[in-house]
Amino acid sequence: MRSGFWRRLGPCILLLWGLAASAQTNGIFADFTTSMGNFTCQLSYSNAPETVANFIGLATGQRAWLDLVTGQVRTNAFYDGVIFHRIISGFMIQGGAPNGLGADGPGYAFVDEFSPQLTFGSPWVLAMANSGPDSNGSQFFVTVEPYTSGNNTYAIFGRVISGTNVVAAINHVATDANNKPLTNVVIQHLSIRRVGTAAEAFDINVHGLPTVTNIPVALKVGSQQAWLTFSNRLYADNRLYWTTDFSTWTSGELGIEVNGPGTNSFPVSMDSPQKFFRFAQVQYASSTFAPQNVYGKTLVLNFAQGRGTHTIVFDQSGGGTYKIVTTIATTTGSLSFYIWSQGPYSGQFYPIEYGGILMTLQLTFSSATGGSFTGTVYSTPSFSVYGTFTLSP
């Protein structure tokens, strides 16, 4: 039934967009040259200026990005040579991950940008992929059918205006069980064209996007360990990389300074005859309030759907206690395990376990003391949860 619908509707859509493309003279356009042919997207810089600015900056090398393997800040064209790593037939094609696995990006995130003028009501929509609210980076997808459930979840910033046949062909390549093409479909080159006075005047540097730099560090060596000293700033995401051979790099995240610069020094072990360091800093204009850790804090989860209230008190050593209150019973006990991960606009427990419950939770802060959460409870079967939370002090 779906394929019959596609045959009837497809030519009409192609004709309409063909007329739009031929009549279009002004705008900002992204021309994709791929191993399966070419297609062009018009970028909606008026309705999604921050998202478009990020995309243009990465595509042209005008915005620096972080090589997550080596810690080196780069300004080469980000998308050239990247593959479409995830393709779901009849739905979309997705690219923008340098490692080809969909597990990385430019080393920073920026907030969601939604407009009532931009919806998934028709096919051929260009939008940002994400891993939750306000987690946009470099990964994008192009739809091949309407996807209205994606409205206000994925930031739309453009639309295919020519080459829809190429996008459709890419969408039908053979894939494995993880939706990865069996033969790589490569973005050989992505170029940006500006046509018209307004398009030429669009400034990608005034939208508050994060800046990425390698910053100098001073090394002080003691008898048992060494110390690295660096320039620290509010809302700075500091990352340290080190190597002994310039072949294999190890990374460590120092966290994002959400209350003000804390320390500007970091201890490193002297466990090798030689060790070399590289320091990267992602500077955000502002941040929500996810802390670097949850030591000594109290988390209250107010679950929707009548699932009760969970109160977790974290101690200073990675443990804690919990109290679960439902309409049926109240239970208490010791916290089994958790891993907390701070992000620029949210925080994540990946996972947290207590009272026989194993969950992953993403906390999106609307203030320093609370916000909303979404997550998954892993059971048989697993199910999704959501609600509001407070975190104090």
pLDDT in tens, 78-120: 999 999 999 999 999 999 999 999 999 999 999 999 999 999 9
Residue 254 backbone zone (phi > 0: left; psi -120 to 50: alpha; other: beta): alpha
Residue 243 has pLDDT above 80, yes or no: yes
pLDDT of residue 12: 37
Higher pLDDT, 20 or 305: 305
Closest CA relative to residue 163, chosen from 126, 121, 117: 126
Whether the bond between 210 and the residue before it is cis, its omega within 30 degrees of 0, is no
Residue 126 has pLDDT above 60, yes or no: yes
Section 122-135 average pLDDT: 95
Tokens of 6: 């596609």
Section 185-198 average pLDDT: 98
The answer to whether the CB of 52 falls within 8 A of the CB of 28 is yes
pLDDT in tens, 287-310: 889 999 999 999 999 999 999 999
Whole-number Å distance between alpha carbons of 11 and 366: 45
Residue 11 has pLDDT above 80, yes or no: no
* Of 33-47, 56-70, 251-265, 274-288, minimum mean pLDDT range: 251-265
Residue 361 has pLDDT above 90, yes or no: yes
By residue count, the chain amounts to 393
Query: Please, which pLDDT band fits residue 225 given cuts at 50, 70 and 90?
Result: confident
pTM of structure: 0.87
pLDDT in tens, 148-180: 999 999 999 999 999 999 999 999 999 999 999
Tally the C-alpha atoms within 13 A of residue 270's C-alpha that lie toward its C-beta.
11
Q: Which residues pair with 236 in a beta bridge?
A: 283
Section 259-282 average pLDDT: 86
pLDDT of residue 272: 82
Section 215-238 average pLDDT: 89
pLDDT of residue 261: 76
Query: Please, which pLDDT band fits residue 9 given cuts at 50, 70 and 90?
Result: very low
Residue type for 284, please? Y
Q: Quick one: how far is CA 250 from the chain centroid?
A: 21
Q: Tokens 């610069």 belong to which residue? A: 261
Whether the bond between 381 and the residue before it is cis, its omega within 30 degrees of 0, is yes
Tokens of 47: 């309705």
Query: Please, which pLDDT band fits residue 24 given cuts at 50, 70 and 90?
Result: low
Residue 1 has pLDDT above 70, yes or no: no
Section 306-332 average pLDDT: 96
Residue 3 has pLDDT above 80, yes or no: no
Q: How many CB atoms lie within 10 A of CB 266?
A: 18
Query: Please, which pLDDT band fits residue 271 given cuts at 50, 70 and 90?
Result: confident
